[in-house]
A and B are shown apart, each in its own frame.
Chain A
Amino acid sequence: GAGVSQSPSNKVTEKGKDVELRCDPISGHTALYWYRQSLGQGLEFLIYFQGNSAPDKSGLPSDRFSAERTGGSVSTLTIQRTQQEDSAVYLCASSLTGGNTEAFFGQGTRLTVV
């Protein structure tokens, strides 16, 4: 595709339910990132993929958060047993090889936990 695509664009879920957020990076981009942005705040790093492996998961806030990437392309961020504090915009970005090259962001998934 032309850019990074994320789905859904909006998700409202009940506290305690699991959610899956999807990211389709730009074709050929080996590096993929997930960030979280709370209302009016900056970009909080969650996880980095190079190909299908995740060398850096240090930003995942708890063990309720996990992510995978298959075929070096699509990535899924899963949040189990959602809490209200998980409400935020989840942004995905991809770049050709990683740092030092342009990173392109998707439009984000706005998650609301009620």
Chain B
Amino acid sequence: GENVEQHPSTLSVQEGDSAVIKCTYSDSASNYFPWYKQELGKGPQLIIDIRSNVGEKKDQRIAVTLNKTAKHFSLHITETQPEDSAVYFCAASTSGTYKYIFGTGTRLKVLA
């Protein structure tokens, strides 16, 4: 069945360093890839998304890259700050379907 693998499960970085979270999807028809940030006690919030017709998208300190051939997509956070500490989820979805297949999450800790 459809599957999204996410790595690493936990990630600690020093403030100011970069963080990279990687996801791999199984359904080659997937064409929409959102990333969610979940802070403690809150619901997941969409932070950035990418569609399969582009290879990279950037929004200030966050960027997402997509490699359709390898079925990989990654979240990059530069100049990390303590407020970036949260759990991040990737997901994959396909046109004409309703499902979002979520990764298992990455707990990011930014150390001051």
Binary interface encoding of chain B residues 23-66 relative to chain A, with 1 for a CB under 8 A from any of its CBs, else 0: 00000000110101000011111100100000000000000000
B97 contact set on A, CB distance < 8 A: 98-100
Main SS of the interface on chain B?
Answer: loop
Are A42's CB and B104's CB within 8 A? yes
B98 & A56 in contact (Cβ 8 Å cutoff): yes
Q: Which residues of B contact A (CB under 8 A)?
A: 31-32, 34, 36, 41-46, 49, 89, 93-100, 102-105
A-B CB contact pairs (8 Å), 22 listed: A4-B43, A42-B104, A42-B105, A43-B44, A48-B98, A48-B99, A56-B99, A91-B43, A98-B98, A99-B32, A99-B93, A99-B95, A99-B97, A99-B99, A99-B100, A100-B31, A100-B95, A100-B96, A104-B46, A105-B36, A107-B41, A108-B43
